[in-house]
Structure 1
Amino acid sequence: MFFNFNRFFGFQQKLDNLLKNEGLTIETIFNEDDILQELKGSSSAKFADFLIQHPQEYKKMIGYIVNEINDDSLDKTCRTKYPFYSSEILGQENEKLINFLFDKPEDDIFDGINNPIEDDETQQVGTSDKNNNNQIEDQETQLEATAKKNEKLKENEEIRANLLDYLLQLLEDDALNVTTAGYLAKALNTIILKRGLCFWEHLKHNPQVISNLFKHCYLKHIVDIIDRLISLEDNYEQHNEYMIDRLALLQRLAQILKAKEYSQVIVQNICELFEGQFRKAVQQYETQTQEYKKMLLQFVQQITPSYFMSIALQTQQAVAYNVIIAQLEFLNKLAFQNEHQDQIENTEKESLKIPDIVPLFSLLIKDFSKALNQQDQFNISFKSTVGTCITPLGECKLSLIQLINNLLSKSELQNYYSYSIFQSIINLVKQHPSNNQLHLLFEKIVLAVFASNNEQLQKSMFSETNLITFIIENNNEEARKNKFGFQGVLTRLSNYLHQNATQSQQFQLSLQQVNVNWSQYMDGLNEVNKKEQEWILGVNPKQKSFQLSEEISSPNIIMPEPLVQYAYTQPSGFRKCESFENSDEDNEGKNEEEIQHDQQEQKIEPEPETETGTGQQQEVSNQNNNNQKDPLDFDSNPDVQEEIIKTQEQNIPQDEEKTEQNQQIEQGKENEGKDNQDDQFQIYQLEQKQYTNEEVIHTQEVQEEDNLKPQESIPEQQHIPTDDKEPNQEEQIKQEDIGQQE
């Protein structure tokens, strides 16, 4: 696929330049690069006018589909490109080209068409009309031009009238190439879609065309043409026309199916056609006409399901069973619509008389056991990686078991089932322990029999077969070690039968007849059910709101306590602390990790008390002088930070008593301003006096506790340093105050 820039950007069309040339041919157009998209899109109308004006070029284009190109002068690319381009153009639903095959164009249409190839005679007539003043010569030239024009129109009409026959001539060949058949099907399907009634009218005058279509039923493309002729879909105006002919076409196909049952390809193609007709009638029931439904209903009564059952036994093709399933669905749809006719909005539709399904399907039920035990001729055994020989079940028997399950829903047909059918299905389950589709169908059949009120059917399932013995022997504690593929289905089936055992007397009687202990078997499944029936983490994924199951006990998950962000409360008289991160100048203090670790610990561990002396005071004062810090800025001192944290944690109960005093001091500080250092120092002295006594008492208590406890503490206890440097800080402040006074 390529992007068409001409379509979106308004470039000059290539076809316009080509139409200016004299003697333009279809080959010249096809040889142009990237011309196909233009011929199918923006220039489709101009190209159609060109072909209508020159039918010989139209016929030449069809000839590339019908006849094989044997011209050695053409390269291989052209041999494949010309037929492909021709089929794409004919299959593009160009109404002008399609209508030209059936309708004779009027003369005015030819006059209105822009003809890029002007005839030499017409040019001579035009010049003579302008330049020659002799009326006699004008009349002669006009007569000659009219005669030539009429002869040309007659020749073009002969070509036009035979164009469709020329296209259908391809079907007369004894054998068709698959690619050529695909090109033909693309063109004919479009013709039937647009002018289906005209095509049927053409077939009535040429009946050999239908026979030629039947001759090539081995090609899926040809069968698609027949399918389109029967359904006439996408054109609802044609639905009620030629119903008798379309029904006869279905009946002839059924006869060909019986005669050609040795060919798997023909059986496959024709059965798929029948199945598609019934399934489209079910899916598009509201849009289909009553006449079309009556035609299919009449076909079911004439070509009964037993007919396709015999085809299935002879050919062992799954599509034959699929046709029966489609017919059953069609009848069920009709019955449902008749029962709810009052609820349907379109009340104008009359209810169809549905035939009795008992004579239609009862005969083929008798052949179910034979079909289940039939040896498959097309499935070949193979060895698995383990070394065991495996014979595949095949799609044919899966479709048969699906049909058996569908017919079980009809209560009037349940009495025709025998125990041999159920026993054969049980044997197939045992022979194919890895076929999940078979196991699911087996489960549906058992549940359908158990849910029915037919005692004879339940007796055939539970009493006359070895179903219960099969379940216990293949799903008990010893058998579960083999890990068969059907054990999950048997466990689920056993739980359902055990929980609803009181609803079926035949099941209870069959439990009494079996020499096994059903209760003991179910007790052994308790451990399996405990593992399989519990949701992972107690959550049902099918529920919209996930809820934990109360039955499942799980250990309590201890979630970590949320990290509380430390909010520093500024004590009165201290400057606001912008950050607790230690700078390069505070190497003697704690790093950030140690501070966070201290905050998360739950217990307090005091450090051993250190002696203070004049040497330490001098060291601190020298460090402050070297760093050139403000004597009132205590935020950068880690000892002061530790003291602030300690006093905040230890004196929380006492903060309430000092709230009013602190507020007054803070208000005084805000009013006086930070620029006045003398006022700040007075505020600091007032605050320092308030906390001095408390800090001294706290220091004494910490020292007493430190003397009683060992130096190394438990890692889980919180580490808070003692106030061993507080006296040094006080003396340092006093010295600084004396210096300022001097």
Structure 2
Amino acid sequence: MENQQEQQITFQDYIINSLGQIIQSDLLAYQKCNSIISNQFSTWLYYELISTINLNSNIFNRNPTPQLIFLCSELFENANQEFIDYLFDLVEGLSEDQAETKRGLFRYLISVVEQDFIAETTCGYFYKVMNSIIQKRGADVCNFLENDQRIISSFLKHVDQPHICRIITELILFANQPSKILDYSYLAQQISDRLFKIMERKSHQITIVDNICEIFVEILTRKSQNPNLDIQKLISIKPSQLFQIAVQSNSEGPHSLLILLLEYAKNNQQDHVDSFIDISHLIPLEFEKTYLTNIQQDRYFNKLFGRKNMKLLFLTSQLIQLNNKSINSKLIDNGLVNVLVNTIQEFPIHNQLHFTAFEIFEKLIESEQIDNILDMIDSLCNFIVTQLNQTQNYVGYRAFLSKLANYLINKQHIPAIQKALKNNQYWEGFVQTRLKDINQVELNFLFNINPRCKILT
């Protein structure tokens, strides 16, 4: 028994020392990799490596040390070309049993995803291994997946793990790369479609929705970095369906994805921009939910506007920048201005909300495409006058109100603004009294020195 344990420790030390030398070397990595591959422990060694990465009981019936786990993952990620080639290339001089065992090495490695549960640490090491294999022998991986569809299902079963999702991302991107020899775009499309269906069914699970959205976000980001990457068929998500998932979940992922889809549509598929019209009338309703949810809570505490709503606010701003009359009219007709005004009052110290809301009001007014723009400006004027005249109360958004008031004054050359201001019976008196006092404090430079003016010497 002691001799067996000593042999196990000796073999473990041999692997650690050998792998450590390979990882630390540069010039002799090829020779050292081949020296280990070609020795009598080649197949045993691979089972040891793969079992270590999988963190399962291996052929030596012991638990791998943290050092060995790290070295195994580093080996596949860095000094790995010969080791990865060994998984797929034919090797001469092997017996039939050895050849059969070798053919099953990659199947043994990838079987980690067939487990019902994978530890997060295992997923991290597994990602390092699979990412390197995909980058160097991606065609072989795709061929393997074609012949064993169950593995794809096993990958999709673990979309709650970010590292598994990163592997899926690399698979989709590789399979969608144009190739003169083999085309795996249909495989990428199949995985993409199944991901979207999972997101629809699991919309109540924030982690899964966020992880799947991150896959598509990464794909769109890679597209912006590599214009030659063709993802037109891959990105077939309808904004209305994605927005519905956002409504059903509490995830910010769908809104982040919608923002990138809109940018992609503007740059690559102008016809698909019109598909965002279908969600325009729903946006004010979502903001109204936030307002109604928080109206019973303390004005300054115990409530958050949330990153999800900030993403939705930014998406609204991006939609308005399109200068699409149908989109802008639907936003206004469904009460966007009043809902934003009420939301601002419920979140009086949320500067980012105020800044983005100002941009939205500014773009809507200057677009001059809205039929009821006079009513919109009149609502803003009444909001400004009512709130700033309440001198006895602290108003956290006073700077936002004064900035909006001065903006309207400076833009009086726009006929719609000029007409709306003249029709408001309280505006002129407010400008001459309250706004004038505020501007004397807020618009004066410190020590009456404009830092932007050049000093003449």
Q: Residue 159 of structure 1 is aligned with which of 66, 81, 101?
A: 101
Answering whether residue 359 of structure 2 is matched by residue 470 of structure 1, we say no
Partner Cα separation in structure 1 for residue 43 and residue 193 of structure 2: 39
Report the CA distance between 1:44 and its aligned residue: 2.9
Q: Residue 36 of structure 2 is aligned with which of 29, 42, 51?
A: 51
1:248 maps to which residue?
190
Counting matched residue pairs gives 444
**Is contact 2:50–2:109 with CA below 8 Å preserved after alignment?**
yes
**Is contact 2:175–2:184 with CA below 8 Å preserved after alignment?**
no
Aligned partner letter, 2:332: S
Partner Cα separation in structure 2 for residue 30 and residue 382 of structure 1: 62
Partner Cα separation in structure 1 for residue 60 and residue 90 of structure 2: 36
Q: Residue 399 of structure 1 is aligned with which of 298, 305, 311?
A: 311
Report the CA distance between 1:209 and its aligned residue: 0.8
Local SS of the residue matching 1:241: coil
**Is contact 1:217–1:269 with CA below 8 Å preserved after alignment?**
yes
**Is contact 2:23–2:78 with CA below 8 Å preserved after alignment?**
no
Report the CA distance between 1:208 and its aligned residue: 1.0
CA change 1:238–1:270 in 2 (3 A) is farther
Deviations 1:463-513 (A, max 9, x none): 4xx32111112224x43x6443321122122111112123132x3443344
2:322 maps to which residue?
410
1:101 maps to which residue?
87
Report the CA distance between 1:176 and its aligned residue: 0.9
**Is contact 1:91–1:187 with CA below 8 Å preserved after alignment?**
yes
**Is contact 1:91–1:190 with CA below 8 Å preserved after alignment?**
yes
Report the CA distance between 1:154 and its aligned residue: 3.6
1:331 maps to which residue?
265
Partner Cα separation in structure 1 for residue 177 and residue 36 of structure 2: 26
**Is contact 1:308–1:324 with CA below 8 Å preserved after alignment?**
yes
Report the CA distance between 1:38 and its aligned residue: 4.8
Aligned pairs for 1:62-211 within 5 A: 62-69=50-57, 78-92=64-78, 94-105=80-91, 107=92, 150=93, 152-211=94-153
Partner Cα separation in structure 1 for residue 292 and residue 209 of structure 2: 16
Partner Cα separation in structure 1 for residue 430 and residue 193 of structure 2: 59
Q: Residue 215 of structure 1 is aligned with which of 138, 151, 157?
A: 157
Greater fraction helix: 2
Report the CA distance between 1:380 and its aligned residue: 13
2:25 maps to which residue?
41
1:320 maps to which residue?
254
Larger RCO of the pair (alpha carbons < 8 Å, separation 6+): 2
CA change 1:205–1:71 in 2 (3 A) is closer
**Is contact 1:425–1:442 with CA below 8 Å preserved after alignment?**
yes
CA change 1:522–1:251 in 2 (3 A) is farther
Partner Cα separation in structure 2 for residue 380 and residue 444 of structure 1: 24
Answering whether residue 442 of structure 2 is matched by residue 528 of structure 1, we say no
Partner Cα separation in structure 2 for residue 178 and residue 389 of structure 1: 36
**Is contact 1:449–1:461 with CA below 8 Å preserved after alignment?**
no
2:3 maps to which residue?
none
Partner Cα separation in structure 2 for residue 329 and residue 454 of structure 1: 22
CA change 1:179–1:469 in 2 (3 A) is same
**Is contact 1:93–1:190 with CA below 8 Å preserved after alignment?**
no
Aligned partner letter, 1:68: N
User: What is the RMSD computed on CA atoms of the aligned residues?
Assistant: 3.3
Report the CA distance between 1:232 and its aligned residue: 2.4
CA change 1:403–1:411 in 2 (3 A) is same
Local SS of the residue matching 1:547: coil
Deviations 1:662-702 (A, max 9, x none): xxxxxxxxxxxxxxxxxxxxxxxxxxxxxxxxxxxxxxxxx
Report the CA distance between 1:431 and its aligned residue: 0.5
CA change 1:398–1:98 in 2 (3 A) is same
2:4 maps to which residue?
none
Aligned partner letter, 1:63: S
Aligned partner letter, 1:316: N
Answering whether residue 415 of structure 2 is matched by residue 504 of structure 1, we say yes
Aligned partner letter, 1:218: D
**Is contact 1:253–1:270 with CA below 8 Å preserved after alignment?**
yes
Local SS of the residue matching 1:497: helix
Local SS of the residue matching 1:501: coil
Answering whether residue 224 of structure 2 is matched by residue 309 of structure 1, we say no
Report the CA distance between 1:212 and its aligned residue: 0.3
Aligned pairs for 1:338-357 within 5 A: 354-357=270-273
Aligned pairs for 1:645-724 within 5 A: none
Aligned partner letter, 1:94: N
**Is contact 2:48–2:59 with CA below 8 Å preserved after alignment?**
no
Partner Cα separation in structure 2 for residue 440 and residue 57 of structure 1: 60
Aligned partner letter, 1:51: I
Partner Cα separation in structure 2 for residue 213 and residue 206 of structure 1: 12
2:233 maps to which residue?
295
1:489 maps to which residue?
400
Report the CA distance between 1:24 and its aligned residue: 11
CA change 1:80–1:174 in 2 (3 A) is same
TM-score (norm 2): 0.87
TM-score (norm 1): 0.55
Report the CA distance between 1:61 and its aligned residue: 1.4
Aligned partner letter, 2:338: Q
Aligned partner letter, 1:435: H
Percent identical = 23
Report the CA distance between 1:91 and its aligned residue: 1.7
Deviations 1:530-550 (A, max 9, x none): 333344355555x5x7437xx
Report the CA distance between 1:450 and its aligned residue: 1.7
**Is contact 1:260–1:267 with CA below 8 Å preserved after alignment?**
yes
Partner Cα separation in structure 2 for residue 309 and residue 460 of structure 1: 29
Q: Residue 169 of structure 2 is aligned with which of 208, 223, 227?
A: 227
Deviations 1:83-123 (A, max 9, x none): 22211211225211111111113x4xxxxxxxxxxxxxxxx
CA change 1:356–1:165 in 2 (3 A) is closer
1:278 maps to which residue?
220
**Is contact 2:175–2:188 with CA below 8 Å preserved after alignment?**
no
Partner Cα separation in structure 2 for residue 493 and residue 240 of structure 1: 58
Note the residue ranges of structure 1 that are not aligned, 5 or more in a row: 1-21, 108-149, 335-352, 549-742
Partner Cα separation in structure 1 for residue 194 and residue 142 of structure 2: 16
Partner Cα separation in structure 2 for residue 405 and residue 471 of structure 1: 21
Partner Cα separation in structure 2 for residue 381 and residue 192 of structure 1: 53
Answering whether residue 455 of structure 2 is matched by residue 547 of structure 1, we say yes
Aligned partner letter, 2:252: A
